[in-house]
Every structure is written in C-alpha cells, then in structure tokens.
Amino acid sequence: MHSNALINESSPYLLQHAHNPVNWVPWSEKAFETARKENKLVLVSIGYSACHWCHVMEHESFENTEVAAIMNQYFVNIKVDREERPDVDMLYMSAVQLMTGHGGWPLNCFVLPDGRPIYGGTYFQKERWINILNNLHNLYTNDYEKVLQYATDLTNGIKQAELIYSKKNEGSSFSWNTLEKCISNWKTRFDNDLGGPNRAPKFPMPNNYSFLLKYAYTKGDAEVLKHVDLTLKTMALGGIYDQLGGGFARYSVDMQWKVPHFEKMLYDNAQLITLYCEAYRYTNNSLYKQTAQHTIEFVLREWLTKENGFYSALDADSEGEEGKYYVWQTEELSRLLNDNYDLFCDYYCVNDIGYWEHDNYILMRNHETASILQKYNLNEKTLNEKIQNCNAVLLAAREKRVKPGLDNKILTAWNGLMCRALCEAYLTFGENKYKDIAVSNASFIKSNLMQADGSLKRSFSNGAAKISGFLDDYAFVIDAFIHVYYISQDELWLDLAEKLSNYSLEHFYDMDRNLFYYTAGTSEQLAVRTSEVSDNVIPSSNSQMAINLFKLYKIKGGENHLKIVSEMLKNLTEEIAHYGAGYSNWASLYMDLLNDPAEVCIVGKDVEEKLLGLYKHYLPNAIFVVTASPSELDILKGRYVNDKTLIYVCKNKSCQMPTSVIKEAVELIEKHN
C-alpha cells in the first residue's frame, strides 16, 4: 500500500521500512535542508536488521497509519542503519545516554534542523510514542527558546564527555600496579559458578577473555585462568551456542548462558573463533577446537559470498517469532529421532534444564557425559557417532523451516575481524582451507573497498562500495592484513597495513588529545566529532589502532609510532585500573608495553612449517616477522641463509643466536615473559 524514499536503498534494515506509511528518508544533507525549509524537528531513528525490538516498534508504530500521519505532519523522519553509519549512531547514542542513563536499539533521537539533539530514547510503546510526538511538536512550536536550551546543554554534555580521555598524563609511567588493580577489581565481578560476569544479560565479550587469558599466562594467575576456562566451557555448551548449526547468538538474557537473544552477528562469531583458537593453544582442550571449527563451518555456510566477502548478520526472528528457527518440541524430536530420542534428550538437556516456553526447548550440552556413557553403556566414540547422526537429521529438518532474515551487507570492519579469525584458525589448526579463504577475503577488501589513496569504504552491496570508512574499518583491516602477512609471508600485506596506518594518522589522529577521531577530517562533519575509546563487544577503534601501531613499530621500526602508542595509553591508565572489562584491549596493550614482546624472526624456505610449529604453543609475548626469501626489512637484513630456516628471538631488534629447533625457540620466547 505504501512506499517511501527508502525503496532505493541497499541496506536490508532500511529496505525493511521501505513500505511503512511513515515518509522515511535516508540520512542526507537534503533531509536537514527540508527540515530547515519547513521548520520541523527531525526524528533520527536508528537500528539494524537483526534487532528484535526494532521489529516490535516498527510493527506497533511505524506500520500504523495513525502514528505515521502524526510523524509525517510534524517531523522529517530519517531512518539510519547503525552498521552503515556508526558515526551517526555514536553521536545520538551519547545524547540518549546522557538523557536517560542507558542506550540500546531502536534508538530514537529528536534533533534540530542543524543536527543537535534535544530528546530521545530507545523502544517506546505506541501510546507513549504518540504522546511524545505531540508534546515535542507543541514544545518546538510554542517554546522554541526552551528547545534551543535543551540542544545547547546536550551538545555541550557530549563535548564534555569527549574530553574525559584527554588527560595529558605527561609525567606518568607504566606500572604492573595498574594491571593488578584492574584484575583485583574485576575479580569481584566474576561469576565463578557459571562463568562470565555476575549479572544478566551476559554478552560473550571475546576481548575480555583474550586479555584475561594473556594475564593468567603472564602472571601465573590460576584463579583468572580457571574463570576463563569456566566461561568458555559454559558458553560453548550453553544455549547461546547453536549446538546443531554452529555459531554464537549475540547474548544470553539469563545468568546460565541458556536463553539467547537469537540474532547472530559476524563480529561476535569472528572474535569468538579467534578467542577459542587462543584458548585451545593454551589449554589443548578439544572442546575449544571443536567450537572454533564448528563456528567457522557456520560462517562459511551462511555468510561467505561469491566475491569472498562475508555478510553481516542473521535475524533473531523468523515467521514473526523470536528463536522459532532454533528451538524444538518433544513431539517433533521423537518423530525424527526414533530410538535415539532418549539419548539425544539426555545429551542436549531436553528436560527441565533446557525448557524455555510454550513447550519449546533450547538445546544445551550436558556437562556430565560420563553419566550418559554409563547409562547407555556406550564408549565415547559411539556416543559421538550417534549424536552426529542425530544432529544431521535435525539439521536437515531445520533447513526446511523458514530461515531468519539475512543482512547481506558486507561491512569492511567486520570482514577484517573475520579475516583475522581465519588467519588464527589456520595458524592454530593448519587447515589450508582457512588460509585460502583468509587471503581471498583480504584480496576482496583490497580490490573492492580500498582506494588508491589508501582510504577505505565502509560497505559493499549490489556490486558497489559506498560510504567513507570509519576508524574501525581501518583498525580491523590493518590487523587482518598483518595476519595475512604472517600466513602468506607476502610483504605486500604489510605494506598495505602501513599505508592504511599512515592514512589514518593523517586523517583521523588528533595530536592535541593523543587520540583518533572516529571519522576522517575529510568526511561529513556531524554536530560533534566523536572518538570511540572504551572497549565493548567489539574493541574500540582507538585501542585497536594503538595495537596496530605497536605491532608495526616492532616489525618495521619507527619511533614515532611507539611515541603515539605510549601517549594514547597514558590517557587510559585510570580507566584500565578501575574497570578492565571496559578497557580490556587497552589493558592487553598496556601489558605489552610493560613486558615488551619478543620479535620472533623466522627466515628461510620452511618458514611456514616453523610458524605453524610455534603456533602449537600459546605465545602471547611474541610478535612475528616472517620471510621465505631475503628481505629488506631492517630486522631481517642479513639473516637469510641458503637451504636453512632459522628462528631468531630478538628484544628491541637485538637477537639471540638463531635456532632451527621449535622447542629451543619456544624456551627463548618464554624467557621474555
């Protein structure tokens, strides 16, 4: 019955709203020109395609002609995909958090025609939404000075929040005391019964556990290691993990990792693959290998494109119901599994533990398989075969269901995370398929998203790249390219990483604050130019850029990089000590500056064999430099010897006597710990 201006967009989220009776328009200067011309407030409504509550509000309000009539009469209505325009989301999320103390999506922010926010919130029930629309219109019409004061106060508040991280700690130095305080505070928030934080909802937060693993190894902290091990185990066995198809949902609504918010995001799964690879190298726990590889299978099956990019997400809902695609009822299980039904129910907690609602069960792994082996008189091999057969039957049945919606945007930053994950998986497990896809994905980014001047585009869909890249696009692609250099030994990728870093320093870095802005100086300027500093489900773009610069300094040299990293990190010392869970990527870098990782140079024709041999060990205190032939990198000059492959363990470019024996190299690296 209706179509609006979103019909010409490529974002699945925007297209979901293209037939609302609301006269939505995409974000553009033209929309604000219209608001100025018609003297209207602007509604900036932000969400993403896999967002459950976005769908709820759409159905209740944006599909309603009565509500749409009010919105169309009084407001210019802009729809924004937060994944395409995270800069817009970041600005108005800051405003809503200042107003309400919390954020989330859908994010609805009312702004002046000059872009400054005046009021906002997240999900609003229909009747309340109608009241807000009418009240704000009346206020804007009858008391403009008051509205103007709201805008001034809120904008100043956002600017003040930006200054929090600009401390200029000129005289401060790095100390283990900071990390010890960080861990001491963090331990009080451990859930040591079920893993993760001692509250719900529970988000996986991969970078938190990557840092904690590194800290446990470095400081020999058994309590921290036990907590990480518990968390990774309970997540992998819990309902947050798709036990049949692989892959993690975005978060668990409860303490038990049982009931997921069923949407699946590329960024979560990419980082969790990396985390489970790291944990496998440390613990040799086969569950972690299985989880990483099963998750990769899911990603390749559902999200790998013909261009070797990766799609973004799968929706939480199908046929209008959250989780319908993933849950099971006993009648269907019994019919499909026949004689294996009882065994399957014991194995996957189809009982009071796995019961959810409306006669539906969420599959969770039983922690105690020994009792199942005894009950059914099976050995482990036979049990696994039976369960795999059951899984295959149910997967085939599930494929016939209506699938959750696919967000088919290819986002640069998230592809960088997935490329890095595949590199980690190749280095950990030695599967050539992972290497081939990682290199192909990096080539896709280089060919389709990287421009000749060293800039990046944010998004790729329908054969075209669009939107200028943001700092996270640069940060995670640089990290990916460094890892593609490791697995390919091709210095092209190292050179591209450096080119992207130089572009970032020129166009994003603020020397006065010693931090990077989220947007380039050449990009569209919003009401406030913001920086992304705290580490969340995805690490902050600033912390990842600092880590990249540190790695490039260790590999290629450049004292200026080290100076920038040091100054950036000094800004965050207090935050790391106080709340490590929100600054874990920074904390990992902080540990590197204290510990000074070894530069491990592998030189010779069998470089890949030696690298894979070293990666059988957990070596977080090492940064690798690799070549199969003579190299012009300063740290590698003069080190190539015909018909030999040598490993040099170096500190500040000063190297020990080389060895060709993995065990000896590992011992030398561990001495640096």
Confidence class for position 168, pLDDT limits 50, 70, 90: low
The DSSP H or E segment spanning 241 is: none
User: Does residue 86 surpass a pLDDT of 80?
Assistant: yes
**Which range is least confidently modeled, 261-270, 518-527, 624-633?**
518-527
pLDDT at position 165 is: 76
Query: 178: Cβ–Cβ under 8 A, 6 or more apart, which residues?
Result: 573, 576, 577, 590
What integer pLDDT is reported at residue 83 of this predicted model?
95
CB 404 within 8 A of CB 325: yes
Largest CA distance in the chain: 84
As a whole number, mean pLDDT of residues 443-450 equals 98
Q: Which of 610, 420, 406, 603 is nearest to 497 (CA)?
A: 420
How many CB atoms neighbour CB 269 within 10 A?
29
Please tell me the distance from the alpha carbon of residue 417 to that of residue 473, in angstroms, as a whole number. Answer: 10
Q: Is the pLDDT confidence value at 167 over 70?
A: no
What is the pTM assigned to this prediction? Answer: 0.95
Q: Is the pLDDT of residue 474 over 80?
A: yes
- Residues 384-413 have a mean pLDDT of 96
- Encode pLDDT of 529-560 as tens digits: 999 999 999 999 999 999 999 999 999 988 89
464-468 and 457-461: which strand pairing?
Answer: antiparallel
Mean pLDDT of 119-130: 96
User: What count of Cα atoms within 13 Å lies in the side-chain half-sphere of residue 159?
Assistant: 11
Provide the percentage of residues in the chain whose pLDDT is more than 70: 99
Banded model confidence at residue 421, pLDDT cuts 50, 70, 90: very high
Q: Dump pLDDT digits (tens) for 363-373.
A: 999 888 999 99
CA distances from 56 to 22, 41, 80, 316 (A): 15, 24, 17, 12
Contacts of 517 (CB under 8 A, 6+ apart): 471, 508, 509, 510, 529, 530, 531
Confidence class for position 671, pLDDT limits 50, 70, 90: confident
> What ranges make up the beta strands (E) of 85-241?
107-111, 117-121
pLDDT of residue 621 exceeding 80: yes
Average pLDDT of span 477-481: 98
Range of 156-165, 495-504, 565-574 with top mean pLDDT: 495-504
pLDDT, mean over the chain = 95
Handedness of CA 440, 209, 259, 322 (dihedral sign): negative
| pLDDT above 80 for 169 | no
CA distance 92 to 43: 11
**Distance, CA of 343 to CA of 373 (rounded, Å):** 10
- Asked if residues 620 and 246 have their Cβ atoms less than 8 Å apart, the reply is no
How far is 670 from 598, CA to CA, in rounded Å? 9
- 324-358 pLDDT tens trace: 999 999 999 999 999 999 999 999 999 999 999 99
Angle subtended at Cα 414 by Cα 599 and Cα 272, rounded to the nearest 5 degrees: 70
Check pLDDT > 80 for residue 170. Answer: no
Residue 50 pLDDT class (50, 70, 90 cuts): confident
Residue 1, pLDDT above cutoff 80? no
